[in-house]
Amino acid sequence: MLLENKNAIVTGGSLGIGTAICKDLAANGANVALNYRKHSAEAEAIAEEIRAMGRKALVIQADVASFADAQKMVDTVVKEWGRLDILVCNAGINWDGVIWKMTEEQWDTVLNIDLKGYFNYIRAAAPVMREQGYGRIVNLTSINGMRGKFGQANYSAAKAGIIGLTKTVAKELGNKGVTCNAVAPGLIMTDMMEKMPEEAKQASLNETAVKKLGMPEDVAYLVSFLCSDKAKHITGEVIKVDGGQYI
């Protein structure tokens, strides 16, 4: 197995793409700790699936926007399992609006979760990974952080910030055996996407080269690969999973 006996943290693991990532990491041999803020039942259900695969699972209530919560979660995993090998920063929200109507609350809320939340966890995990001389960090960004998106100034800015953060962390931790990469999905079939107006959904579908939307598993497979030693010489990269939506 690619990730036998590795210990992973996945933020936002109770829903959507995060759930697929948790399951695929476990299917490849990893123990998985996931956080939740409100969806405790969903998180516990995923943990039970992980345990049914013969892996360890931890469910921890943590707000990714909280620096203290991130540190506490990393400390808990290291205390329980002895080390932390993998960090997948996935948790995020969107709260859309055109720039001339966007409120300060909309901006701050999205940036605090979608960008500061990534900093919080990487900051907590970095000393652990540096000391043990090994680590895999994967950050979920978006093609809209690479190209911008009408009505998503806050979300696109946060996702663009993740790309800069990824490249910097790759440079800072590379000589300690730690890689850091970003995965940029296009439109993926999740509960959030299903709530989109049909017209907007069709417009995104028409943008793709393959003329179909991606599934959460399409993202998860790449994340698991980047967390494995087969990707040990890949760092600082941003890899799209978008069916050619942004070429």
Q: CA distances (Å), 88 to each of 198, 206, 234, in order?
A: 31, 30, 16
The alpha carbon torsion through 169, 172, 173, 179 (nearest 10 deg) reads 40
Please report the beta strands in 84-235, taking only residues with DSSP state E, as ranges in sequence order: 86-89, 135-140, 178-185
CA-based nearest residue to 18, from 103, 123, 90: 90
**Catalytic residue list:** 155
Answer whether 90's CB lies under 8 Å from 122's CB. no
CA-based nearest residue to 87, from 168, 166, 191: 166
